[in-house]
Structure 1
């Protein structure tokens, strides 16, 4: 399907300049038609299929002119791992008019270079939202506000980690007799019930963000680290209730341990970001 794009071109001074730009653009395989307006200093191209904006910039520059670009740094919410970074970068690079996009997980920011008039903040927000993430307020925050936000994230992640271990340490201690001597104290039923009751808050209270992030990724057609953690801990937890009705081992306590270690990693990550 043919699409029409209009973008600015700088450096033209006469009709011959416009003709040179038209010729350079027309040589690109994706471009079916190219028109340049000297008065408005804009080029209009009709393309078929995917278009490489890097190639368009190169063609215009090699002809001796310039397509102005802008660079914007966007705070991105919802990323948790390298897979998230890759999906956000891919989504931004697919936006028509984007020349390059790089995402930094540590700072939770995306740096996007684009052609003004072709792409803009609304396009970036839509593209990122479609893969399950969010571009936050792009207005510049003061240093104090940034520090407050970093402190809030560290405080929340520290709370989740501490609560997780508050329930997980008793699980570990309770499991020791069973692991060392094969004794489910005080009884098989109470042991299984205790594992389920202690593991539930770790997974579904302080660990709920992991499940939400993992589910969001799946609904958008991909998997991230949270998806794997959610799948592993979720299946393990289900063996707890199942142990009351079927002869299966109860791994609900193990699920809580995995989540506790995962939330500890999240706390270390947020602490590193806050100090960056």
Structure 2
């Protein structure tokens, strides 16, 4: 016996994540017809009764994603993982605000000290080496707290010899931070050949902050769209009036089968698609017209 599932997937950040989840799940024995919806962050698939969903979730987790098994059976309105989008948004908001709080002084100090602005030099009584160490202190929490998500996903991808957008962000920000760290702690490496060392702490901080801002706006837009779709689907009637053996019987719309004769009384909503075989009436079209 085969069962259809529609489960939330956490951790997808781009189109390549969708392709990877589909590829991994399609390789699992007994799983077929895998389709991932990036907008709703859900995966639908058909699986044999012998398939252990815990094992499927474990494989997905090895690739850096989380398959939510809170609700197994597929339904028209699946509330499984409803808290996940909000949780992800709150985490992004927290990381972004933390990064922004540190990036603003990081950027100001870095730019004004490089441009040698007169009024700034009069209040900033630190030499180049001291300034670089201050920038290092400000940047380090950004990299180890706000940017942590990028490096975790990048490391997971590296273990599976794959790469995606998070890998690019991790390489770019990590390289800028690591180079600047070496220059700050061991400036003699460049001072010996007569090269004036320059750090890029503000580059790493600004990139992380802007990427988090983009993710935050995307997450908020997706949450609003998801809520609107749920409200629209919620307008659909939960039951249908079916004519069987000359009697009107009210059943759940999930129990409707092809060939059922559905009775729609004046002012009611249409529970399913169908063909009018007899009569005429005025129905509730608010689901379409608003």
Q: TM-score range by the shorter chain?
A: 0.5 to 0.7
- Assess if the C-alpha contact under 8 Å between 2:8 and 2:42 holds in 1: yes
- Assess if the C-alpha contact under 8 Å between 2:150 and 2:166 holds in 1: yes
CA deviation digits over 1:45-78, x for unaligned, max 9?
A: xxxxxxxxxxxxxxxxxxxxxxxx5321122222
Matched, 1:125 2:125: no
Query: Could you say if the C-alpha distance between residues 198 and 270 of structure 1 is closer, same or farther in structure 2, counting changes exceeding 3 Å?
Result: same
Query: Could you say if the C-alpha distance between residues 230 and 271 of structure 1 is closer, same or farther in structure 2, counting changes exceeding 3 Å?
Result: same
- Assess if the C-alpha contact under 8 Å between 1:91 and 1:128 holds in 2: yes
Matches of 1:130 and 1:210, distance apart in 2: 16
Matches within 5 A, 1:70-89: 70-89=3-22
Question: Which of 101, 109, 117 is 1:174 aligned to?
Answer: 109
Matches of 2:87 and 2:217, distance apart in 1: 14
* Structure 1 counterpart of 2:215: 266
* Structure 1 counterpart of 2:34: 101
Q: Which shows bigger deviation, 147-156 or 213-222?
A: 147-156
Matches of 2:28 and 2:173, distance apart in 1: 36
TM-score relative to the length of structure 2? 0.63
Matches of 1:111 and 1:148, distance apart in 2: 19
- Assess if the C-alpha contact under 8 Å between 2:8 and 2:81 holds in 1: no
Question: Which of 134, 153, 160 is 1:213 aligned to?
Answer: 153
User: Which sections of structure 1, spanning at least 5 residues, go unmatched?
Assistant: 1-7, 9-68
Question: Which of 187, 195, 202 is 2:142 aligned to?
Answer: 202
Query: Could you say if the C-alpha distance between residues 165 and 136 of structure 1 is closer, same or farther in structure 2, counting changes exceeding 3 Å?
Result: same
Matched, 1:187 2:127: yes
Query: Could you say if the C-alpha distance between residues 200 and 132 of structure 1 is closer, same or farther in structure 2, counting changes exceeding 3 Å?
Result: same
* Structure 1 counterpart of 2:172: 232
Report how far residue 207 of structure 1 moved: 1.8
Report how far residue 119 of structure 1 moved: 4.2
User: Which sections of structure 2, spanning at least 5 residues, go unmatched?
Assistant: 191-196, 227-290
* Structure 1 counterpart of 2:279: none
Q: Which shows bigger deviation, 254-263 or 78-87?
A: 78-87
Matches of 1:237 and 1:122, distance apart in 2: 39
Report how far residue 125 of structure 1 moved: 2.2
* Structure 2 counterpart of 1:250: 199
Matches of 2:112 and 2:58, distance apart in 1: 54
CA deviation digits over 1:203-223, x for unaligned, max 9?
A: 101221221111111112211
Matches of 2:127 and 2:71, distance apart in 1: 59
SS for the counterpart of 2:146 is: coil
| Equivalent pairs, count | 208
Report how far residue 195 of structure 1 moved: 1.5
Matched, 1:134 2:83: no
Matches of 1:144 and 1:104, distance apart in 2: 15
TM-score relative to the length of structure 1? 0.66
- Assess if the C-alpha contact under 8 Å between 1:195 and 1:240 holds in 2: no
Q: Give me the CA root mean square deviation.
A: 2.8
